[in-house]
Amino acid sequence: MWSAIVLGFLGGVMGGNALPHFVRGITRRSYPCALGNGPVPNLVAGWAGLVLSVLLLAWAGPGEHPGPAFGAAAAGVLAIGLFHAGPGAFGRREEPSGA
């Protein structure tokens, strides 16, 4: 069961982190990314993160331990969401006023 919790959490974190990169890539907008800040690197990073997330969630064994796997995945998405909403990977950036 511990593997379901750990893999579910990691899958949730990966999926929650991949989604903004994928969305920025398909909408042709820049976003800070380890592969580059342009749309194409973000699309690739987002796609790879989503694929890895699905693999981790499948390896978590949701059929054997559905509650722990789902709960850990939900906690992982919440954790990465709170991280990005708070300090973020590149520190807090203020939005320009007047927009």
Q: pLDDT, tens digit, for every residue of 6-56?
A: 999 999 999 999 999 999 999 999 888 888 889 999 999 999 999 999 999
Residue 98 covered by a domain: no
Residue 45 covered by a domain: yes
Residue 97 covered by a domain: no
For residue 24 the two structure tokens come to 């920025």
Q: Tell me the pTM.
A: 0.82
Residue 77 covered by a domain: yes
pLDDT of residue 50: 97
Q: pLDDT, tens digit, for every residue of 44-84?
A: 999 999 999 999 999 998 889 999 999 999 999 999 999 98
C-alpha to C-alpha distance for 94 and 21, rounded to whole angstroms? 20
Structural domain containing residue 21: 2-85
Residue 96 covered by a domain: no
Number of domains in the chain: 1
Torsion of CA 60, 65, 69, 70, to 10 degrees: 140
Give the closest residue to 49 by CA, choosing from 84, 99, 14, 4. Answer: 14
